[in-house]
Structure 1
Amino acid sequence: MAATKENPIIFYDLHDGKGSSWSPNPYKTRMCLNLKGLPYRVEYMLLSEVEHKLKELGVGPTSDTFPHYTLPVIADPSSDPDGNPTYVAESFAIAVYLDEKYPAPKYPVIFPSGTRGVQHLLVNQYLPSLVGSLIPMLFPKLPQILDEQTMDYLRRTRPPELLKPLPEEEETKKWEDARNKFIGVAKSLDFNGEDSFIMGSQPSFIDFAFGGAFFLIEKIDGARMKIIADGKWGNYWKRLQEIEGNSSQVD
């Protein structure tokens, strides 16, 4: 049974205490659902609520290391009217599931033919070092966008240095280093043409992974985002925002 507006996919996302999404990982799944045009309804929870809620749903851990329970998770309706939904956790696994359950040509593909392996490599081996360079600047500013309950949870469960602001001079240098890394990636993407995505002419999972980083930067520091996402990245981010804006979310 395919998801319908009357019986949509349930997409579990994190909210900031004010009802707005903020995390780059669920962003990837939101974009996959929008790309495919699959109807979905969002159920939000706070970061501190994730483990309890997923255990309650019967969803297993996604990692052997802390945090063991993470979002995104989706619940795909059962083909049996009286059956339980299929729960899928972790953004890459969700994308694979969606391509297999809702295949082309009826639905756009998240992984163009022959790219699943290389996208997994990029997301798990290359992108973490690029995005990791942003963490020292972004995490100390999370109190600007998150509620106090979430911040209390982060202070209790994350290393204190992760949330400690950098000296201004060091922060400026790290932002410049990060910008240069993105410029380097953009030069490689130029070989695909002016309006290309990373895998070619169509958006795919790796684009949503890059987009998740941009999404968080813009949430925390919109002025900095304009510096990072200038030129090619600015055009790229605009096209990703169009996919986000063409949402298949239902109330």
Structure 2
Amino acid sequence: MITLFDIPSTLGVPWSSNVWKTRFTLNYKRIPYKTEWVVYPDIEAVLKKHNIGPTGTKGDGTPYYSLPAILHVDDATGEIKAALADSFHIAAYLDKAYPDTPRILPEDEEGLQEQKAFADGLLWDMMPLLTIMFKAVMPVMNEGSREYFSKARAMNLYGVYGVHRLENIPYGEEERRVLWKDLEVCFGKLEEKVARTDGEGVWFKGDRITFADFVIGGLLIWMRTILGENSEEWGRVSAWNGGRWGRFLEGLKEYYDTAV
């Protein structure tokens, strides 16, 4: 059985865009799994407990531990078959470990690097989204995670300016207006990027789903979950670019199973 480590919230449903990349991958491949919920301050200790390594380095040079992560244990023998983090590396492992399931990463190096570059760069290409969503996530953040999240994400975004908590980031009507206007531009650029690879279908590579589509899907379901499916904000996003993003997420609907 595979255990997927995820971050809880008061909503009682998965919300993390990064973890959704792996949920989509598991659901698309129809691989059974269960979820273990881990609050932000406990992520490092839990991953170390299972010998799951860091995914990067913090600004102070210490290891950075993050989710998603999976633990794959053989049900019959109890043997640990895999223990790893990072949605891209998990996808590569699942393609190899389950060769009879639909493959989501290309086998050629050029295609593989294209997918990785897209996955690594999407959120950073949408910087306005981070402020919008980090502020929106705070009210629904599990109590055990809220303090950690506020400090860590403020440091990610504005630490260089001396802002150490998300609550201290200016977010009045004018700031929101500018951020949403800038975000629409970002989605327009995403539309152009996807369109350049889009053949006959809606997906990143045309008529076949690849990991890049789960990267986009993770971002969109994150927004819809936190902003609210019936909110004015999500309605705005889903209608941008001729309604592409609402249709895009609807196209992934059969892979929403959450295995909580």
User: What is the TM-score normalised by the length of structure 2?
Assistant: 0.82
Q: 1:146 maps to which residue?
A: 141
Partner of residue 77, structure 1: 73
Matched, 1:50 2:23: no
Give the alignment partner of residue 211 of structure 1, picking from 199, 203, 217: 217
Structure 2 gaps, min length 5: 156-163
Q: Give the 3-state SS of the residue equivalent to 2:23 in structure 1.
A: helix
How many equivalent pairs are there?
Answer: 238
Alignment deviations for residues 83-102 of structure 1 (CA, whole Å, 9 cap, x no partner): 23420211110001111111
Residues 53, 18 of structure 1: CA spacing in aligned structure 2 closer, same or farther, 3 A cutoff? farther
Q: Which runs of 4+ in 1 moved over 3 A?
A: 155-158, 187-191
- Tell me if 1:234 matches 2:230: no
Q: Is residue 2:21 matched to residue 1:28?
A: yes
**Does residue 41 of structure 1 match 2:34?**
yes
Number of the residue aligned with 1:3: none
Q: CA offset at residue 133 of structure 1? A: 2.4
1:93 is aligned to 89
Structure-1 separation of matches of 2:194 and 2:90: 26
In 1, the alpha carbon distance for the partners of 2:30 and 2:69 equals 18
- CA distance in structure 2 between the partners assigned to 1:84 and 1:90 by the alignment: 18
Letter in 2 for 1:95: A
Shift of 1:108: 0.4
* CA-CA distance at 1:113 after TM superposition: 4.4
Residue in structure 1 matching 2:124, options 119, 129, 133: 129
CA contact (8 A) 2:25 2:211 kept: yes
How do 1:130-209 residues align onto structure 2 when only pairs under 5 Å count? 130-157=125-152, 158-159=154-155, 160=164, 162-163=166-167, 164-190=169-195, 192=198, 195-209=201-215
Alpha-carbon distance in structure 2 between the residues aligned to 1:204 and 1:90: 16
2:6 partner SS:
strand
- With over 3 angstroms needed to count, the CA separation of the structure-2 counterparts of 1:92 and 1:38, relative to structure 1, is same
Shift in Å, 1:30? 0.5
Partner of 2:5: 12
Query: How has the CA–CA distance of structure 1 residues 193 and 156 changed in structure 2, closer, same or farther, with 3 Å as cutoff?
Result: closer
What SS is found at the alignment partner of 2:171?
coil
Shift, 1:19, TM fit: 3.8
Check 1:75–1:173 CA distance in 2 against 1; reply closer, same or farther (3 A cut). same
TM-score, normalised by the number of residues in structure 1: 0.85
Structure 1 residues 77 and 147: CA distance shift in structure 2, 3 A:
closer
Q: CA-atom RMSD, angstroms?
A: 2.3
SS at 1:229's partner residue? helix
> Which stretch shows the higher mean deviation, 142-151 or 41-50?
142-151
| Equivalent position amino acid for 1:91 in 2 | S
1:33: Cα distance to partner? 0.3
Moved more, 59-68 or 170-179: 59-68
Paired-residue identity, %: 29
Task: Verify the 8 A CA contact 1:29 1:91 in the aligned structure 2.
Answer: yes
Say if 1:232 and 1:18 are closer, same or farther in 2 by CA, change over 3 A. Answer: closer
Q: In the TM superposition, what is the alpha-carbon distance from 1:180 to its structure 2 partner?
A: 2.4
Contact 1:16-1:145 within 8 A present in 2 as well: yes
CA distance in 2, matches of 1:64, 1:127: 20
C-alpha deviations, 1:175-197, integer Å up to 9, x for none?
12211221333245446257420
Listed as ranges, the gaps of 5+ residues in structure 1 are 1-7
User: Is the alpha carbon distance of 1:112 and 1:155 closer, same or farther for their aligned partners in structure 2, counting shifts above 3 Å?
Assistant: closer
- The alpha-carbon deviation at position 132 of structure 1 amounts to 2.4
How far, CA to CA, are the matches of 2:84 and 2:52 in structure 1? 8
Is contact 1:214-1:225 (8 Å) kept? no
